[in-house]
Structure 1
Amino acid sequence: MATCPPYPPHPSGPVPGPAGGRPRHAHWWQKRWVRYGAPAMLLALSGLVILALVRQQTGTEGFLVGLGLAVLPVPLLIAAFRWLDRVEPGPWRNLLFAFAWGACAAALVAIVANSFATQWIETATADPTRADTLGATVIAPIVEESAKGSAVLLLFLFRRRDFTGIVDGVVLAGVTATGFAFTENILYLGTAFGTDQLTGGRGIASVTAATFFVRIIMSPFAHPLFTVCTGIGFGAAAALAGDRRRVRRVLLPVSGLLLAMSLHALWNGSSTFGTYGFLAVYAAFMVPAFGLLTWMVIWTRQRELRTVREELPAYAAAGWLTPAEPFALGSMRARRLAREHARHHLGKPAGRAVAQYEAYATSLAFLRHRGRRGRAGADFVVRERELLGELWARREVAQPALDHAARRTAPPVPVVAPPWPVYGVYGRPATPVPHGPATPYPAYNPYRT
């Protein structure tokens, strides 16, 4: 097992920040405009193609109706995943890439591949009903989960500094699936609206209302739930970085992808289980699975906060942090109070600086935790110095705000009356004080003046 490097001593002078810029003699594919421009162009082209395909199938009016209805659950789902990612929030560019990949690239691959496979099965079997069933229960889960999982794989390979654990995998996979479901819902709702226009469906009995109820009200989390299984597999593999058992690190993402395909196939096949098949699968499998995954992700987030509280006190002892900071950084309430305090007294830039300080401190705690477990990478020391430099550059704004938040959220110290008699003036016994339960007393505050 690798040995974790010692804690760096307190700085005696200026601390260098992260090395910025690109290499002086970088290859053309390493240039910034290539690394960011090429994926952006690919996603934009995919978006234009998928827009044309969906509009062709739904018509202009159906597309607008589907777009207006499909966008409703998107802010709620994105907000939920950002809430899960509050301990160590990842950069917005990763989330934008994940959503765009799901909405454009993955949706385009799914539409083309599913249509081609269904037509091929129909030609081979001369049975349209069987072709639709096989396409929905076999082809669609494999194609769609592979297409959505590709975004998680790309971020896992090329954004490893931002991809360190299960929560990161869950958030990126969930945002990717949210984008995919957004495009798919436009297609389904727009098609349903076109059907109602032809048949004269109105009110609650319309196909549009039924589709909206099933896809937007009852199961907006269906696609995120499937792909989150893939994200958990990649997140577990990321948490095992440095583990010599590479087979396990490969099997975890594959197992997560297979589980996602299985749940997706079960969901799509529920319509073939009879009149109440959909409701049975929804109640017996989907809701419990959603609850289990939600509990697991929240438990993982609490474990991350505990890691912050356990790893940062050594940096406080070395002089990099104040004694109160590990407690404040390990509490979501204290973090929020620190940001609000800085924003109220110093303005919005100070609030952003405190938020960045909290994120860098959390990354530092996770880095040291991996190092103590023998999973420190070759760039451990360089990365640690970079994070310490980022903290040191923001300490004048962040540390007073975090100390204030620590004082606001510190638990009271219980004081118990002594069991021996207490004497008053001139040795006379004082009024007896019952030896009862502890009473709250304000904690000692070395910062209060």
Structure 2
Amino acid sequence: MVRTGDPARRLLTDPVLWLTVALLVVCALCAVALWFQVVPDREVPGGTLIGLGTDAIPKVSLFAAYSLVPISLLYFWADRWRPVFVWTRIGLWVAALAWGAFVSTFLSAQLNTWAASRLAIEGDGDPASGARAAVFVAPFVEESTKATILFFIAILLRYRFVNRLSGIVLAGLAGAGFAFTENILYYGRAYRYAAQTFGQQDPDEVLRQIFFLRGVMTPFAHPLFTMCTGIGLAVALRAKSKLFRVLAPLIGFLAAALLHMAFNASSTLFQGTTLLLLWGVALMLVGTAIGFIIRQLLHEGRSVRARLEDYVRSGWLETSDAEAASRLRTRMRALWHALWRGPSTFWSTIVYQVSLTELAYLRDSQTRGLVDRSGTGREHELLATVTARRPHAVVLPDGRAPYPRLRRRKAVQQWAPPAYPGPSGLGGSWPAPPGATASQPLGQTATQYSEVDPSWAPPKS
């Protein structure tokens, strides 16, 4: 929702800010608890449980970031149709990432450990209990803990889910954060084990090998799984049928858990050529997901234009408004041009674009029957905001941006002004000789001839 007024007051009254702060506090507590659980060595009945060690954390965190950064940038790039300001969008991104990285991993570690102890047949040392928990328990536990942040946002900030891309981006970021912390645990354990086993393998070489398997071959796993839940939740929030609102999130969660289960089972039970074939199938799923994201980006542009053209036909908006708000490239160029025209123009352009986007999705909700009469009042506010901001905003940028020009130095005058005629003839550009003036005669009277000898005559033959 776009609010006008003082930017500082609007930021402090934005519920996303305080939701993000509260979530960060919870994430910090879970991060500290997870640190003391997995990093230092702990005394347990029967011996000492080797932790990751503080010396390995910086190195393995860097390797884990190699997978987190490109995946996160992909989701940031896809989240461009949300009708909110930049700080609100960043707050939602941070909340989803931090929840997946700290809260979800901490809760999943406790539940998975407890489930593995319950599935053990021969006691706590049963080696098969870990595999059973990874296949039959971990998928449901981890997908539910990752998806919790999505349901929190859907309950507290329902209007933030305006399309399927909203669910895809937030779910993918939660999965990417979870994969980041999980990779730190896997990399750290492998590195510490190789360092403790003298004369066996180089710890750095072991770290590079497991990074290739998890960070290069399968960095997409957790984001891909959680995306299924995000799509189901976003579809449910935009659906009119009450039955579909219940079934869509449930189907999305089950799809995420089943994909996760298949991935864990293939990693545990298959090796060699069969595993490579399954990896090829996983790449096809990733390609399908990327194609779906690109399709949704194009679809949202057409949907925004179609909804704004309803107001154009009614005479409440101009034709340029629908064109300016429905093309991502035009929106980015308009912001770039406005940036060089001053803070006032830049802010007006931002408010203008965000207001048009919210107006389009509000109109879409009205056509679906998802809002009551209060939407009409908000509709009038947005139309008034667009009308007021349009004269001060960059709507359809044309040509180059108004970059500032550097002042040129003035040339130092070292010669007198030229006189006419100059040494090179009438209108010559050479400097005038010393003492010359510009009042010399021009034309026929300026021609002077040398004196002629009167005794001169042609030679006689």
**Aligned match of 2:334 in 313, 332, 338?**
338
Name whichever of 171-180 and 61-70 sits farther off.
61-70
Determine if contact 1:125/1:131 at 8 Å carries over to the other structure.
no
Determine if contact 1:18/1:389 at 8 Å carries over to the other structure.
no
Aligned to 1:439: none
Displacement, 1:328? 2.2
Change (3 A) 1:124 1:382: farther
**Aligned match of 2:349 in 340, 346, 354?**
354
* Alignment pair present for 1:211 and 2:205: no
Change (3 A) 1:352 1:114: farther
* Offset from partner CA, 1:128-151 (integer Å, 9 cap, x none): 232121111111101100000111
Aligned to 2:442: none
**Aligned match of 1:140 in 133, 138, 147?**
138
Aligned to 1:85: 79
Separation of aligned partners in 1, 2:212 and 2:351: 40
Aligned to 1:329: 325
Displacement, 1:220? 1.3
Which structure has more helix as a fraction of its residues? Answer: 1
Aligned to 2:370: 375
Aligned to 1:27: none
Aligned to 2:56: 62
Aligned to 1:424: none
Separation of aligned partners in 2, 1:68 and 1:264: 25
Name whichever of 188-197 and 309-318 sits farther off.
309-318
Aligned to 2:395: 402
Aligned to 1:222: 221
Separation of aligned partners in 2, 1:133 and 1:260: 19
**Aligned match of 2:29 in 41, 45, 56?**
45
Determine if contact 1:367/1:380 at 8 Å carries over to the other structure.
yes
* Offset from partner CA, 1:190-222 (integer Å, 9 cap, x none): 111112212356569932112100111111111
Name whichever of 252-261 and 84-93 sits farther off.
84-93
Change (3 A) 1:390 1:281: farther
Determine if contact 2:195/2:202 at 8 Å carries over to the other structure.
no
* Offset from partner CA, 1:160-180 (integer Å, 9 cap, x none): 111122110000100111111
Change (3 A) 1:215 1:390: farther
**Could you tell me the TM-score, scaled by structure 2's length?**
0.75
* Alignment pair present for 1:315 and 2:308: no
**Aligned match of 2:270 in 268, 273, 276?**
273
Determine if contact 2:82/2:162 at 8 Å carries over to the other structure.
no
Aligned residues: 379
Displacement, 1:322? 3.3
**Could you tell me the TM-score, scaled by structure 1's length?**
0.77
Change (3 A) 1:209 1:133: same
Aligned to 1:291: 287
User: Which amino acid in 1 is paired with 2:133?
Assistant: G
Displacement, 1:396? 3.2
What stretches of structure 2 of length at least 5 have no aligned partner? 41-50, 401-461
Partner SS for 2:379 = helix
Displacement, 1:265? 0.7
**Aligned match of 1:166 in 164, 167, 175?**
164
Determine if contact 1:339/1:352 at 8 Å carries over to the other structure.
no
Change (3 A) 1:275 1:35: closer
Residues 121-140 of structure 1 correspond to what in structure 2 (within 5 A)? Answer: 121-122=119-120, 128-140=126-138
Separation of aligned partners in 2, 1:319 and 1:47: 55
What stretches of structure 1 of length at least 5 have no aligned partner? 1-15, 23-29, 409-449
Q: 1 or 2 for the larger relative contact order (CA 8 Å, sep ≥6)?
A: 1
Determine if contact 2:191/2:206 at 8 Å carries over to the other structure.
yes
